[in-house]
Amino acid sequence: MVLKYFNSNRISLVWFISLFPLVYWIPSFFSSGYFQHPEVSGVPLGRLVLAFNRDFSFLSSLLALVLIIINGYLLIQLNTNHIFIPGRTQLPAFFYSILVISITSLHQLTPQLIASSLLILLLFRILSTYKSEGVSLNFLDAGLLVSMASLFYFPAVIFFLFLLAALIILRPFIWREWTFTLIGLALPYLFLASVYYLIDLPFADYLHDISASWQKAEHHFRIKEIVNLSYVAVMLIIGSIFMMGAIDSMKIHARKFFLVFLEFFLLSVVIYLIVPGWGMGMIFFTAIPLAYLFSHYFVKCRRNWVNEILFLLLLLLLLWQRF
């Protein structure tokens, strides 16, 4: 019954998926003081976001919630545009929401949330190039989006490797598209260097800020968060095994798109493991491909009591963290 309802497109489900993050978020609106984020952000725009959190805590929390709801809608729209998960489903927004709201210490606007939101827009640009005739300028936009994300949280620049991998998966080799990608990455930094020059600041100061972005982030997961994330890891294994069995029967475009999401997820995990300053904000990045993996599983799996329980446990563990 539960899976049947969540696989529908009823108006009540749309309202539930939109309002559930708000209801879960409400205690954070009334938390006293500013959340002490363990993440560091050396670059100026990242520091500006953290200063905004400190001075306008309520507004910052509200903006973060709005951005998460918008991101969920964008994930639904991406599947609606390309139908790589069979049928139109609201599940990508649902799973994205429950994954990113599960860590309450991140219930404010963070550089990682902004950077990950820009990468969602990047997915729109690169997936639309599949089977595009001729040279696509979308990779210029994609390079710009990676660069802009790194202006808020510099380690996000590593997702340029993801962009190159997506080029290999989705497109035949066209040297001009690779050139456009590099130009897109460079343009914001050329503009930034010009600004530093005009205001008579040494660009070496920015390079020092970049080094601060790699500082070790001190963070400690609560027991409830560890239990919840452990269950997410179990679902990751189940969903991955199911995907391996289903991928050969997928349409070619869906297969390639899920390979792109796999590259995105693997790079997120590698970055979390090797970049000391990545911190808990990595959930904003890993939640994007996981939302599609879990959605694919619960759309295609059998409607039996085992899968009903697996689905309900995701919700129950999330609620458990609030009490």
pLDDT in tens, 247-298: 888 888 889 999 999 999 998 888 877 776 666 788 899 999 999 999 999 9
Domain count, the chain: 1
> What pLDDT shows up at residue 220?
66
Position 15 in a domain: yes
**By residue range, what is the domain housing residue 96?**
2-134+214-321
Task: Work out whether the CA dihedral 51, 56, 58, 59 comes out positive or negative.
Answer: negative
Position 277 in a domain: yes
> What pLDDT shows up at residue 116?
94
> What pLDDT shows up at residue 32?
46
Position 64 in a domain: yes
Position 8 in a domain: yes
Are 146 and 105 within 8 A, CB to CB?
Answer: no
Position 117 in a domain: yes
Mean pLDDT by 10 residues, the chain (323 residues): 78 86 84 50 80 86 93 93 86 93 85 94 92 84 93 89 92 89 92 84 74 65 81 92 88 91 90 73 92 93 88 87 72
Position 247 in a domain: yes
Position 208 in a domain: no
> What pLDDT shows up at residue 33?
47
Q: What is the 3-state secondary structure (H, E, C) of the chain?
A: CHHHHHCCCCHHHHHHHHHHHHHHHHHHHCCCCCCCCCCCCCCHHHHHHHHHHHHCHHHHHHHHHHHHHHHHHHHHHHHHHHCCCCCCCCHHHHHHHHHHCCCHHHCCCCHHHHHHHHHHHHHHHHHCCCCCCCCCCHHHHHHHHHHHHHHHCHHHHHHHHHHHHHHHHHCCCCHHHHHHHHHHHHHHHHHHHHHHHHCCCCCHHHHHHHHHCCCCCCCCCCHHHHHHHHHHHHHHHHHHHHHHHHHHHCCHHHHHHHHHHHHHHHHHHHHHHHCCCCCHHHHHHHHHHHHHHHHHHHHHCCCCHHHHHHHHHHHHHHHHHCC
> What pLDDT shows up at residue 274?
78
> What pLDDT shows up at residue 318?
85
> What pLDDT shows up at residue 38?
46
Position 69 in a domain: yes
> What pLDDT shows up at residue 34?
43
